[in-house]
């Protein structure tokens, strides 16, 4: 892995595939949520969510018992935290909403959640944010379509649904991070969802090496210095070990 030599600044774009070993299902894989139930994808569209109380009820019922609440970080998450601890400058740009990077030990300031988080709820009316557990408790008590206590507006998880725009400030920060990186690792992402996937080309245009770790082909494979098809839980710890071993030694001031 010659491309691991001399790397001190790494951006990591992570998708659902990095969390499947933690028991969090992906969306488009062979056993993905939308593969098994294509109609479920409609509940993840912003217009559909706002217009249809039945879709909202389905959405909340899904997340009330979602595996992410009990999931623990796996070896891939921990490997990235280890890389950060080694002195390499690491920034994670994640499409995931499960919070497992932070739970693995990465400081929250080093994790940019491109598509939001399931740990907070936002009112679509007054935009107030509250803790998710409070809303899920109401769902478990039978409130299938919980409303905002402050204004009566529709509540949704603080995640970006299809049809919503990414926060412009978050996207701009992500592009800056991709531009500054020497290496962009794209891990467990289909790279089908834009504009997050385009961070690969942003990094390459700025001179970074691009390495894709994913089970399936992606639209950005042709741009990559290397494409790794091994299981993420095996490949990422090996890549991290090589990056740590091959860092340039820091000059000692006399």
Annotated binding-site members for Zn(2+) = 123, 126, 148, 151
- List the catalytic residue out of 66, 77, 101, 115: 115
Largest CA distance in the chain: 69
Known catalytic residue at 165? no
Tokens representing 9? 């600044």
Rg (CA), the chain: 19
Contact 154, 147 (CB under 8 A): yes
Cβ atoms within 10 Å of 168's Cβ, excluding its own = 8
3-state SS assignment for residue 32: coil
> Measured between alpha carbons, how far is 209 from 217 in angstroms, rounded to an integer?
18
**Helices 132-140 and 53-64, interaxial angle, to 10°?**
110
The set of catalytic residues is 115
């Amino acid at each position: 892995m010659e491309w691991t030599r001399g790397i001190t600044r790494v951006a990591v774009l992570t998708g659902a595939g990095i969390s499947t070993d933690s028991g969090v299902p992906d969306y488009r894989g062979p056993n993905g949520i939308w593969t098994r139930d294509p109609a479920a994808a409609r509940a993840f569209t912003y217009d559909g969510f706002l217009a249809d109380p039945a879709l909202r009820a389905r959405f909340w019922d899904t997340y009330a018992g979602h595996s992410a609440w009990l999931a623990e970080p796996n070896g891939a998450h921990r490997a990235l935290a280890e890389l950060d601890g080694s002195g390499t400058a690491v920034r994670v740009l994640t499409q995931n909403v499960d919070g497992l990077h932070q739970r693995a030990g990465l400081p929250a300031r080093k994790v940019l959640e491109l598509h939001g988080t399931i740990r907070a709820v936002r009112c679509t009316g007054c935009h107030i944010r509250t803790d998710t557990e409070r809303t899920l408790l109401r769902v478990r008590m039978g409130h299938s379509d919980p409303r905002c206590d402050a204004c009566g507006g529709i509540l949704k998880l603080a995640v970006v649904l299809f049809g919503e725009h990414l926060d412009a400030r978050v996207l701009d920060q992500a592009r800056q991070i991709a531009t500054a990186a020497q290496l962009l690792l794209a891990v467990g992402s289909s790279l089908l969802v834009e504009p997050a996937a385009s961070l690969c080309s942003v990094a390459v245009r700025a001179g970074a090496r691009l390495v894709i770790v994913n089970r399936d082909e992606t639209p950005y494979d042709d741009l990559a210095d290397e494409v790794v098809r091994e299981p993420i839980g095996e490949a990422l710890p090996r890549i991290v070990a090589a990056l740590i071993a091959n860092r340039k030694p820091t000059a000692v001031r006399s």
